[in-house]
């Protein structure tokens, strides 16, 4: 039989775990509310560092069209985030950098969260590995490198696919402990005309700006939010639309 002391130790451990989960959840809710219920300040003339995620295939093609007209004089420090085996996206990023011809850039290769046709049994393990890798390079490493600023980038621009989820989680996590973190901007694919992708649904609570490319989709999402009680306490980014961005 277990001694009363052992049972008390187990009970104490359970209580501590529950308290830790409760405190973390409360802090997460506070940060999400603060993210989506504050006024934004426009700083369009400031120079900023930019990180762009190229999600491979059609996502990369859309992103390259999206960034083609940026004022690169403003974004003199650039990071291209690509999946570790995505040579085509890397080639496109290098070709664009050759055209820009100024400023500094780097390429960050991350493990895929899930490969095409990968078993759902093994997907959690590869996703966790991808998340850990992103946490180190996006959240931790900038704090330890005295030669760099304490933030990975001022702005991170993403448009899916699922591999963007670990990136957004890693960039958002420092906010829980009041550390500097990038502004997160997500642009939904042009192909999404009636409903959001799963990636978009997952990341919407954690991004600062959330764009769709169809007015009808924005209006439909706004109508659903109104039906659920309005927007007094916003837990997701407001859906914005400026027409076709790609």
pLDDT of 99 above 60: yes
- The pLDDT tens digits of the residues spanning 144-187 come to 887 666 789 999 999 978 889 999 999 999 999 999 899 999 99
Task: Yes or no: say if 172 and 206 are a contact pair by the CB < 8 Å rule.
Answer: yes
In 34-103, the DSSP E strands lie at 49-54, 77-83
**CA dihedral sign, ordered 171, 174, 176, 182:** negative
CA distance 204 to 190: 17
Mean pLDDT, residues 189-195: 93
**Helices within 37-73 (DSSP H only):** 57-67
CA distance 23 to 29: 10
Model-level pTM? 0.89
Task: Yes or no: say if 218 and 245 are a contact pair by the CB < 8 Å rule.
Answer: no
- Mean pLDDT, the chain, rounded, equals 89
CA distance 36 to 202: 15
Q: What are phi and psi for residue 204, nearest 5 degrees?
A: -55, -35
Q: DSSP code of 231?
A: S
- The pLDDT tens digits of the residues spanning 59-85 come to 999 999 999 989 998 998 999 999 998
Mean pLDDT, residues 46-57: 92
Angle 197-200-203 from CA coordinates, rounded to 5°:
150
pLDDT of 42 above 60: no
pLDDT of 135 above 80: yes
CA 112 to chain CA centroid, Å, is 15
């Amino acid at each position: 039989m277990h001694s009363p002391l052992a049972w008390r130790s187990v009970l104490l451990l359970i209580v501590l775990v529950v308290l830790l989960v409760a405190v973390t959840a409360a802090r997460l809710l506070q940060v999400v509310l603060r993210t989506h219920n504050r006024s934004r300040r426009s700083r369009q003339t400031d120079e900023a560092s930019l990180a762009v995620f190229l999600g491979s295939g059609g996502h990369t093609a859309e992103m390259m069209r999206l960034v083609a007209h940026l004022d690169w004089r403003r974004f003199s420090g650039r990071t291209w985030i690509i999946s570790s085996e995505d040579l085509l996206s890397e080639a496109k990023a290098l070709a664009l950098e050759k055209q820009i011809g100024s400023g500094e850039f780097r390429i960050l290769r991350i493990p895929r969260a899930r490969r095409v046709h990968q078993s759902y049994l093994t997907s959690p393990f590869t996703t966790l590995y991808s998340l850990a890798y992103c946490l180190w390079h996006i959240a931790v490493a900038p704090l330890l490198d005295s030669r760099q600023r304490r933030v990975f980038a001022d702005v991170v621009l993403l448009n899916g696919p699922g591999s963007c989820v670990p990136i957004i989680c890693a960039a958002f996590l420092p906010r829980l402990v009041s550390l500097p973190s990038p502004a997160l901007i997500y642009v939904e694919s042009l192909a999404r005309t009636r409903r959001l992708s799963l990636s978009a649904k997952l990341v919407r609570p954690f991004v600062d700006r959330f764009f769709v490319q169809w007015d009808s989709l924005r209006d439909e999402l706004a109508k659903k939010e109104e039906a659920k009680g309005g927007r007094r306490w916003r837990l997701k980014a407001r859906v914005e639309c400026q027409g076709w961005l790609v």
